[in-house]
Amino acid sequence: MERKVFGLGDIVLMKKPHPCGTNEMEIIRMGMDIRIKCTGCQHSVLIPRAKFEKNLKKVLHSAASEAED
């Protein structure tokens, strides 16, 4: 099973697009809840971690592991 690793500052691709049509989000706060900001319209939303992980398709750009890919 693939483990999803994500961190602060990462750009992630979500399964469900934002109402503006963009499904790329930036993680701007980590915790029990995750705050993500839409890269299209700049709106941010706070969602429970479990819901975030369920809706996360993949990490497009990892802020922490620049060297890895």
| Binding status of residue 18 toward Zn ion by CB under 5 A | yes
17 near Zn ion, rule: CB under 5 A: no
* Closest to Zn ion by CB, 40 or 62: 40
Task: State which residue, 36 or 38, has the beta carbon closest to Zn ion.
Answer: 38
Nearest to 60 by CA among 51, 69, 52: 69
Of these, 41, 45, 50, 64, which contacts Zn ion (CB under 5 A)? Answer: 41
Is residue 52 within 8 Å of 34, Cβ to Cβ?
Answer: yes
Least distance between Zn ion and beta carbon 43 (Å): 5
Beta carbon of residue 62, minimum distance to Zn ion (angstroms, whole number): 21
Angle subtended at Cα 24 by Cα 20 and Cα 25, rounded to the nearest 5 degrees: 95
